[in-house]
Structure 1
Amino acid sequence: MPFAGKLGDVQDDTAVNYLPASADSTRVAELQESMPGGDTTDLILVYHRDGGLTEADRASAREHIAGLADAYQFSGGQRPRAVDSKDGATVMYGVSLAGMPDEEDQNKAVDDIREAVDDHPEGLSVEVGGSGGLGADANKVFETVDGTLMFATAAVVALLLILTYRSPFLWLVPLLVVGAATVAAMAVVYGLSQAFDVTVTGMSSAVMTVLVFGAGTDYALLLTARYREELRRYPHPYDAMVAALRGCGAAVLASSGTVAAGLMCLLAADLSSSKGLGPVGAAGVVCALAAMLTLLPAILVLLGRRVFWPLIPAYGSTPAKRRNVFAAMGGSVSRRPVTFLVGGVALLGALALGALNAPGDLKQEDTFTNKPESVSAMQTLAKAYPEQGSQPITIMARTANADAVLRVTQDHDGIVRAERGRSGEGWTEISAFAKDAPESAGEVRTIKGLRSELVAIDGGKALIGGASAEQIDLEKTNADDRKVVIPLVMLAVLLILIALLRSLIASVMLVAVVVAVWGAATGLGGLLFEPVFDLKGIDPGLPLITFVFLVALGVDYGIFLMHRMREEAIKGASTPQAALTALHTTGGVIASAGLVLAATFAVLATMPMAMMLELGFIIAVGVLLDTFLVRTYLVTSASLLLDRWIWWPGKLFRRQAPRPAAAPAPERTAEPVG
């Protein structure tokens, strides 16, 4: 508990932690932190009155700036100047505050400034935006995420467990154990941050919480269902639990192994937030596994059979005969396996085409699903100053050639103005404003053009950063990371599957179908994000993160099904019989597990940030597709069609090989007597 409570102290949502480690914009952010006064807090104060600003409005704005000059240190030591819009209805001040390297101090400064400028003439709107305002609004979201997310997730899991177990007591056991696993995971992540300097962000902490609840509950459902089954065969709960662990322990270990290995592949990413998410998420999965294989069995054995009241599994009894939906599904698949296989693949392919309709990359102003003050300020600026950018492009030049860099920047066609800022440790800061709106195609061309021109200046490379340059670097880095991480994830998952199932064919099939599910879920998001959820873009990091989670988590249900299928085949059942038996026996528990995991990730969609909504939606939809379409129909129909080839080249493939017909015995003739 003491270490878990310290996780918030090491959580860091500064911009550098969400940037590529090797990008120019990241280096600019780091150099700004080392400048005199530390990292700057860049704000834009926007004053607007419909019909035009009055003299009283302008006097109020000047008074606010004077008050800021008394309370804060401006970067470069100069007061910001007013920039009027052409229609005279808006004036903006670009404010860069120095001397606040601590994130908490920056957020407090934004809150204090918003409170100070709230004193203004009636009818005048005053908004505080800029990258500093956006950062403060984002931090407010993350401050409330942990508690809200944990309680919401716990409530969803509790409801689904009650519906699954239909017992007034049993649902409490896995919920308490997964709560203990969450606390343990928070403590472990704190330790990782202290020992190995692992980056912990608000996003990675939130995802870890959901992952522990979702994956941990899945393991609890699988183990408890097998334990209930074994209690009918063994008189003592201890023996029944040993048999349950022996029966499903390997599947649970492989399941958690695929998730942990997939997440650890994120260490190969260049994006700092993705790299940090790997060990943070893996720690959560390992803690969930440890709790479900130690604490949960111990509690269940101590409570005995009565924990299942009123549906207590008596020794020697048989479960009540009920219509099994999954047995009926298996019967349908066995009659028309080709139809179900082709139809399922066609459906996934059709859904994947929806990705072609996806909106473009997410802009900073569209980060939130609601509209905080910083976003409203940016929208006001976009209308008032369509002819120029409202946020600076930051250029860090070697002090020896800063004049040359400044001249090239000022002469560039896409730049309205550029001015020298702070100097320190051999670097000089230059702030430039583009003609085009932030993150528009025109500003992107300007930044890329400047980077090309500034490379040619002698005296050392000039670096370009700022919010828009960071977005450019994010998009490129995410594309590069996908090329590295995705093959690693597929290889890691494939190797674990081969080790568990002893079959190359079955392992390749499971990886192929979960990749197809990721494509279908992403395509469905592309169809719905803008028209239904009113999202203006997709976070550049979303494809990689959702791929890692859906492949690692989605293959779990295939593992549970195929492991039970292999168990039945070892007992002597033919492959078709084993496939239908596995579907019949694991269908209910895997369906419950899929619903729980999908529901826990769907909780992320309630968070007021576009990235969280998109992440929660795609993973929840992918898990549901995997649970009710892929595992039930595609994997089962493919297993029926492949028959013993599903186990190639393992022992089961050779064991089920058709034996050659015995040669007919020669006819015997009666021998003469005597």
Structure 2
Amino acid sequence: MNAMHRQIAGKLTGPVTKWVVLVVVLLLTGGLGFLGSKLADVKDNQASSWLPGSAESSRVADELSTDLDPNDIPTLVVYHREGGLTPADLDAMDAQAAKIAQVEGVTATGVLTPHGAEALAAAGKPAPRLISEDGEVAYSFFNFNFGDGGWAKVPASAKDVRKIAKIDGVTTYVGGFGGQASDFAESFEGSHVQLLMITFGVVILILLLTYRSPILWILPILCAALAYMMSRGVVYLLAKYVDLTVNDQSEYILSILCIGAGTDYALLLVARYREELRRHEDRHEAMAFALHRATPALIASAATVAVGLLCLVFADLNSTASLGPVLAVGVVVTLLTMITLLPALLVIVGRWIFWPKRPSFGSDEPTAHGLWARVGARIAPRPRAVWVVTTGVLLIACLGLFRLDATGLTTEESVTGEIDSVTAQKLMAEHGLADSSVTLQVVADADRIDAVRTAVGTVDGLGAPTPVRPLADGRAWFESAVSVDIASPTAFRLVEDARAAVREADGAHALVGGGPAVYLDSKIAADHDNRLIIPIVLVVVFLILVLLLRALLAPLLLMATVVLSFGAALGISALLFEYVLGFAGSDPGFPLFAFVFLVALGIDYNIFLMTRVREETVTHGTRKGSLIALSSTGGVITSAGLVLAATFLALGTLPLVFLAELGVAVALGVLLDTMIVRSVLVTALNLDLGGRIWWPSKLDRGTPSAPEPPAPATEKVPALD
């Protein structure tokens, strides 16, 4: 098997095949990069589309699809004048309504204004109240409708509406679902490019400090960029032809993961290649040995991350379930790029790429006397005391979990800045106006609908139910306005109260849906996913470690250390969110996302370390092998951790609290893993337990299980003529 690995590695980086690999990857990048440029065409940022079909609000939407166009996007234009709107202001609103009705995407029914509502009321037809009692606030109501997948067109039309809705002395805001979609799109406008620039800038800086070379960083960055381009192309194909849900959130995290993971893989491979260049005069042979020895750890690392992410497909929330495949694609494509293109480029350019400190043939390996060798020497005398104290400190950090509030965020709390749609919503609430675009929709059997309507009318905080409208198959429906934030705990309570009330109408088969119900059902699904996915990820990652290390005790201890690191990272993060960053809480899905990333990525560094420990154990035994592994991999793993932490921390530049919190938590967790868990805790456990760490394997019990021990670091292999 080892010989076969070396043959494959040698063929990938031979004098001729290196050029073949380069051409093939560049051709793939061109084709998939073109497809990736069309990814925006298939993205779906509509919250309702993320819910499973079994959710109560989804079932309501299905029943109402014949009466209500599911592509309607309710939108408001809110007008405010201190001291009261004048008759001229209301006339101007009517004139503007006629122009707004001509904007692309506004439905043919036009725009309902306060005057229009008065006319409907005079004719005996129900209409919402569109002007406040004090006369200071009024709004117009209309729908955008661009057909299936038309949410991406909302921002452009909303800009046209803003240009029209201007009155001297009156402040105007675009609100409702259309206003929110537009505001979020504008908040993120250009942010992806900004995120990529910040991420690449930080990674380049870290690589410059790590490699101490002004040119070596170019190859890892180039390969990571090409991997990201190809990943977007594959994701586009899955979204287009396999109906994979892709949104802005998944694309942002994909870019971070490709750059961070790609740079990590590059750091490990380049470090091993540099070792082999000191042992092999022929750079092609050096790369063949580097690939042969580093690729198993890289594949195991990528497999752990990819499989861990794929566990998300079991989630109820479509947005969560689809994120797993999107990111798994990124990890796999990035791995393939880093074990094909990067090695080919390195052997093409030769040793000069390491300038000014080129690893010459026969030179000494500097890691044997570096920082991490000294750290290992300090741990070795009293390893048990070290791991006990370290564990205690991490357990204390876990206490911060009691301050983590993951019950959800309101619309205002979910963004880091002020947005017009939230201001509009607050303004209407302050002046006693109910947002006619936010309603609870109730469906029931037609013969029991009156009893259901009466029951809903008793729910405190809901607007008066509208008249009943018949549906097909003996069903009927009505709606009630909700005057509070659609994603607030108060709105959730109203939905729960309404659902409890309609259950009292026996035999009505009543269902409660609408905007607030969509957000509540999303929270319920997220809570379910937290309970389901976390145990699945733990089991799957543990099984991968068992297969990789061919032991039981070592994987159990590694899983325990990573979970401990996760708890400490979340505990510290919770304190930062509350007392430093001033966030009101966290999204219900935050613990799951943080767990999957921290466990999958955190176990990465333990894999890098423990595969090297196992390799060295064959020759030197577990205790000495652990110290050699720490000194050999310490620098590269620390650099990899800094890169990944920096890339995820870049998410904090985005205006969404969820992504900012995720970036902070993952960055903190990765730093804990690399600086404390992997370097101190795991090494101390290895030194304390010795060969018992491999139980029930017989490794390090006098019967080596590896038939081909690696060549000692002192062996030098001259080039063959």
TM superposition score normalised by structure 1: 0.90
Q: Flag the 1:271–1:293 CA change in 2: closer, same or farther, 3 A.
A: same
Equivalent of 1:144 in 177, 184, 190 = 190
Equivalent of 1:617 in 664, 667, 683 = 664
Match of 2:6 in 1: none
Q: Flag the 1:521–1:384 CA change in 2: closer, same or farther, 3 A.
A: farther
Q: Secondary structure at the match of 1:414?
A: coil
1:585 equivalent in alignment to 2:619: no
Q: Secondary structure at the match of 2:380?
A: helix
Deviation at 1:171, TM superposition (A): 0.9
Q: Flag the 1:77–1:408 CA change in 2: closer, same or farther, 3 A.
A: farther
Deviations 1:493-530 (A, max 9, x none): 11111111111111111111111122112112211113
1:90 equivalent in alignment to 2:137: yes
1:367 equivalent in alignment to 2:391: no
Match of 2:21 in 1: none
Q: Secondary structure at the match of 1:136?
A: helix
Q: For 1:406 and 1:95, how far apart are their aligned partners in 2?
A: 26
Deviation at 1:94, TM superposition (A): 4.9
1:315-464 matches, cutoff 5 A: 315-319=361-365, 324-359=370-405, 360-385=407-432, 392-398=438-444, 400-401=446-447, 402-420=449-467, 430-434=478-482, 438-457=486-505, 461-464=509-512
Equivalent of 1:509 in 552, 557, 562 = 557
Mean Cα deviation higher: 409-418 or 488-497:
409-418
Q: For 1:40 and 1:405, how far apart are their aligned partners in 2?
A: 26
Q: Flag the 1:523–1:30 CA change in 2: closer, same or farther, 3 A.
A: farther
**Conserved? CA contact 2:444–2:511, under 8 Å:** no
Q: Flag the 1:105–1:419 CA change in 2: closer, same or farther, 3 A.
A: farther
Q: For 2:657 and 2:64, how far apart are their aligned partners in 1?
A: 28
Q: Which one-letter code corresponds to 2:200 in the other structure?
A: A
**Conserved? CA contact 1:13–1:139, under 8 Å:** no
1:73 equivalent in alignment to 2:107: yes
1:178 equivalent in alignment to 2:212: no
Q: For 2:92 and 2:280, how far apart are their aligned partners in 1?
A: 82
Match of 1:195 in 2: 241
Q: For 2:87 and 2:141, how far apart are their aligned partners in 1?
A: 20
**Conserved? CA contact 2:216–2:353, under 8 Å:** yes
Q: Secondary structure at the match of 2:415?
A: coil
Mean Cα deviation higher: 618-627 or 518-527:
518-527
Q: Secondary structure at the match of 1:395?
A: strand
Q: For 2:235 and 2:384, how far apart are their aligned partners in 1?
A: 47
Q: Which one-letter code corresponds to 1:618 in the other structure?
A: A
Deviation at 1:638, TM superposition (A): 1.2
Deviation at 1:286, TM superposition (A): 0.3
Match of 1:45 in 2: 77
**Conserved? CA contact 2:269–2:290, under 8 Å:** yes
Match of 1:575 in 2: 622
1:541 equivalent in alignment to 2:589: yes
Equivalent of 1:227 in 249, 273, 279 = 273
Deviation at 1:254, TM superposition (A): 0.4
**Conserved? CA contact 1:219–1:252, under 8 Å:** yes
Deviation at 1:620, TM superposition (A): 0.7
Deviation at 1:619, TM superposition (A): 0.7
Q: For 2:37 and 2:358, how far apart are their aligned partners in 1?
A: 39
**Conserved? CA contact 1:565–1:582, under 8 Å:** yes
**Conserved? CA contact 1:365–1:378, under 8 Å:** no
Q: Flag the 1:200–1:69 CA change in 2: closer, same or farther, 3 A.
A: closer
1:552 equivalent in alignment to 2:552: no
Q: Which one-letter code corresponds to 1:623 in the other structure?
A: V
The count of residues paired between Structure 1 and Structure 2 equals 653
TM superposition score normalised by structure 2: 0.85
Deviations 1:19-38 (A, max 9, x none): 34421223344556654544
1:564 equivalent in alignment to 2:612: yes
Deviation at 1:182, TM superposition (A): 0.9
Q: Which one-letter code corresponds to 1:484 in the other structure?
A: L
Q: Secondary structure at the match of 1:417?
A: coil
Q: Flag the 1:462–1:230 CA change in 2: closer, same or farther, 3 A.
A: same
Match of 1:661 in 2: none
Q: For 1:14 and 1:446, how far apart are their aligned partners in 2?
A: 22
Mean Cα deviation higher: 542-551 or 146-155:
146-155
Deviations 1:296-326 (A, max 9, x none): 1111112221211111111112145896221
**Conserved? CA contact 2:429–2:484, under 8 Å:** no
**Conserved? CA contact 2:239–2:246, under 8 Å:** yes
Q: Flag the 1:409–1:92 CA change in 2: closer, same or farther, 3 A.
A: farther
Match of 1:663 in 2: none
Q: For 2:356 and 2:234, how far apart are their aligned partners in 1?
A: 38
Q: Which one-letter code corresponds to 2:269 in the other structure?
A: L
Q: For 1:34 and 1:515, how far apart are their aligned partners in 2?
A: 49
**Conserved? CA contact 1:505–1:646, under 8 Å:** yes
1:249 equivalent in alignment to 2:283: no
Q: Secondary structure at the match of 1:335?
A: coil
Q: Secondary structure at the match of 1:418?
A: coil
Q: For 1:108 and 1:35, how far apart are their aligned partners in 2?
A: 27
**Conserved? CA contact 2:77–2:140, under 8 Å:** yes
Match of 1:669 in 2: none
**Conserved? CA contact 2:409–2:488, under 8 Å:** no
Q: For 2:602 and 2:508, how far apart are their aligned partners in 1?
A: 49
Deviations 1:132-157 (A, max 9, x none): 21122223345534333223322222
Match of 1:116 in 2: 164
Q: Secondary structure at the match of 1:603?
A: helix
Gaps in structure 2 of 5+ consecutive residues: 1-32, 118-127, 705-721
Q: For 2:531 and 2:700, how far apart are their aligned partners in 1?
A: 35
Q: Secondary structure at the match of 2:173?
A: strand
Deviations 1:530-583 (A, max 9, x none): 332232221111111111111001000001111111111111x23221111111
1:476-555 matches, cutoff 5 A: 476-555=524-603
Q: For 1:409 and 1:225, how far apart are their aligned partners in 2?
A: 67
Equivalent of 2:699 in 649, 652, 658 = 652
Q: For 1:491 and 1:501, how far apart are their aligned partners in 2?
A: 15
Deviation at 1:161, TM superposition (A): 1.4
Deviation at 1:408, TM superposition (A): 3.3
Q: For 2:469 and 2:175, how far apart are their aligned partners in 1?
A: 22
**Conserved? CA contact 2:277–2:286, under 8 Å:** yes
Gaps in structure 1 of 5+ consecutive residues: 658-674
Q: Secondary structure at the match of 1:536?
A: coil
Deviation at 1:377, TM superposition (A): 1.5
1:158 equivalent in alignment to 2:204: yes
Mean Cα deviation higher: 544-553 or 395-404:
395-404
Equivalent of 2:44 in 5, 12, 18 = 12
Deviations 1:66-118 (A, max 9, x none): 5545764377997554444454433345544557552234333332222221x
Q: Secondary structure at the match of 1:416?
A: coil
Deviations 1:150-201 (A, max 9, x none): 2332222222212211112211111111111111111111122233211111
Q: For 2:605 and 2:82, how far apart are their aligned partners in 1?
A: 58
Q: For 1:237 and 1:32, how far apart are their aligned partners in 2?
A: 67
Q: RMSD of the alignment, in Å?
A: 2.7
Q: For 2:672 and 2:579, how far apart are their aligned partners in 1?
A: 22
Deviation at 1:431, TM superposition (A): 2.9
Mean Cα deviation higher: 365-374 or 214-223:
365-374
Q: For 1:277 and 1:321, how far apart are their aligned partners in 2?
A: 39
**Conserved? CA contact 2:446–2:470, under 8 Å:** no
Match of 2:15 in 1: none
